[in-house]
Amino acid sequence: MASFRNKYALMAVAGIGLVAWLAFDYLIVNRDPIVVGILHSQTGPMAVSESSMIDAEVLALEQVNASGGLLGRKVEWLIADGASDWPRFAEQAQHLIVDEQVCVVFGCWTSASRKSVLPVFEKLDHLLIYPMAYEGLEQSDHVIYTGAAPNQQITPAVQWCNEKLGAKRFFLIGSDYIWPHCVNAIISDQLAGLGAQRVGELYVPFGSTDLAAAARAIAAAKPDVVLSSVVGDSALALAKELRKAGIRLDQTPVLTFALAEDELRSISREDIVGTYAAWNYFQSIDRPENREFVRAFKERYGQDRSVSDVMSTAYNSVMLWAQAVRESGTTDVQQVRYAIRHQSLNAPEGIIAVDPATQHTWRPVSIGRIRHDGQFDIVWTSKTAVRPVPFPMTRTRKQWEEFVNDLYQGWGGKWAAP
């Protein structure tokens, strides 16, 4: 009888202990959802490019949740519309961080939008993950740059045009804001070193689709190659106008830094087949990791969808951040910011890694040529990841920073031409 009573006493104690542990776990362990912010243009001229970045980020977040979430918690996301308007980007960044209390923001495409939100992240000591190839000439503790630095997109493309296409006469055209102006300054320095000639440099209003005069100017200059940093709807219009102006791509190649598979779904292919593009990722990359990424994206959003560099980069950005959260065991901005500097990933395009010294990302580089089906034949690749160099060595960091500041001041304290 005593042993019987002891048995039930032990069971009672164990039950009390279990209840106490569950109560402790309920009170101490944080099971609230982890909330992240997504900040891209869903409206305006940049929506044609940025909306697909949102799709890729959401896919990655859904996969994180499907694998059990992070730290035993579900991840939720809030999407804010930058509306292709730089001041609105800054307002929405403030809203996500202060009002919504997100622990990270994945966002921006244009450098003007990134420049506009940067003071917000620095003032609030927060973290932006920027998934876009850009001009470099910047380095902030509050930004992880997962897209290409200039030496991972711009300078390899110029070198390739000079060596493989035999180009000596270059025409530079871009949208009239901070990124193209910086890109063309970097290219101009490189052309001087190559002994090549810049036969024209032209900028078109951001979002404009009236590019007939620009196309005629290019035709009149008779360049060996056209390098385009025209973005959004303007990039699609330029392709049409160049064809109307008599530019034949087999005679005057065009290489773009801003047009990829996703944009090609919405234009006539006859205007653009044969155009070259420099990116770090193409959907046609033959790797099992890429095939799985493309399969998952199409299964989620439709078999008619294409995947591009910015979408792969947006997807990678979420995965690098998730790894940093797991490693640090927290969503604390400062601790995650430190942990993400040491992350690497077997990404769709190959092995990538965040460079701890610059917070830019090691990535492979490729050049492709547009096919009739809207995909790219890869004509050159670095094969392995290239170390990021945010500030090209043709000028000192101070000189580059002064160049950027002069543009900003010349535009009346804005990151795009008035």
CB atoms near residue 127 (< 10 Å): 23
In CATH terms, the fold of domain 34-148+288-299+308-363 is: Rossmann fold (3.40.50)
pTM of the model: 0.89
d(CA 332, CA 115): 24
Percent of the chain with pLDDT over 90: 86
Residue owning tokens 């996703």: 262
Kindly state the tokens that stand for 337: 């910011």
d(CA 187, CA 170): 10
Local structure of 225: helix, strand or coil: strand
Q: Residue 278: which of 255, 310, 252 has the closest Cα? A: 255
**pLDDT score, position 264:** 84
**pLDDT score, position 163:** 97
Mean pLDDT of 253-273: 86
Taking only the tens place, the pLDDT of each residue in 101-113 is 999 999 999 999 9
CATH 3.40.50.2300 residue ranges for the chain: 34-148+288-299+308-363, 152-284+390-410
d(CA 347, CA 74): 23
CB atoms near residue 32 (< 10 Å): 8
Q: Mapped to the 3 state alphabet, what secondary structure does 386-416 carry?
A: ECCCCCCCCCCHHHHHHHHHHHHHHCCCCCE
Taking only the tens place, the pLDDT of each residue in 328-361 is 999 999 999 999 999 999 999 999 999 999 999 9
Q: Residue 59: which of 302, 385, 327 has the closest Cα? A: 302
d(CA 242, CA 357): 42
Mean pLDDT of 13-40: 68
Taking only the tens place, the pLDDT of each residue in 58-83 is 999 999 999 999 999 999 999 999 99
Q: Among the CATH numbers 3.40.50.2300, 2.70.150.10, 3.30.230.10, 3.40.367.20, which is that of 152-284+390-410?
A: 3.40.50.2300
Among 10-19, 274-283, 301-310, the least confident range: 10-19
Q: Give the model's confidence band at 183: pLDDT under 50 very low, under 70 low, under 90 confident, else very high.
A: very high
**Residue 264: in which H helix or E strand, if any?**
helix 261-264
DSSP string covering 31-87: -SPEEEEEEE-SSSTTHHHHHHHHHHHHHHHHHHHHTT-BTTB-EEEEEEE-TT-HH
Q: Is the pLDDT of residue 8 over 80?
A: no
